Amino acid sequence: MPATTIEGHTIHVNEEGFLTDPGEWSEDLAGTLANQIGIDLTEDHWKAIRFLRQDFAVTNETATLRRIAVVGGIPTKVMFRLFPQKPAKKAAYVAGLPKPRGCV
């Protein structure tokens, strides 16, 4: 499993750059990961990130865009505004979680 260093912290990632150990994630790292994909985090972003992390802790699976909308209460249109083009994939990346099932 590859490792990379971001801001002085070594993290383990898969071939697509997703963290393989969600325990290596931190809020500071989230900001750095978001900046790498051109996103400046706002409180609305944090609502989605916190939902994803809490839901993952319960289900041990990364929520899909549909689950984020239905269970997390964050409309799909809002997710596309916050994380353009591939919202579930980008949100999972920033949240330090595996890519959701069904994402290409």
**Of 29, 37, 41, 103, which one is the catalytic site residue?**
103
Q: Is the dihedral of CA 59, 62, 67, 73 positive or negative?
A: positive
Annotated active-site residue 75? The verdict is no
Amino acid at site 58 = V
Q: In terms of Cα–Cα distance, which of 29, 8, 44, 47 is closest to 93? A: 29
The alpha carbon of 70 is separated from its chain's Cα centroid by a whole number of angstroms, namely 17
Q: Is the dihedral of CA 52, 54, 60, 66 positive or negative?
A: negative
Q: Which residues are catalytic?
A: 103
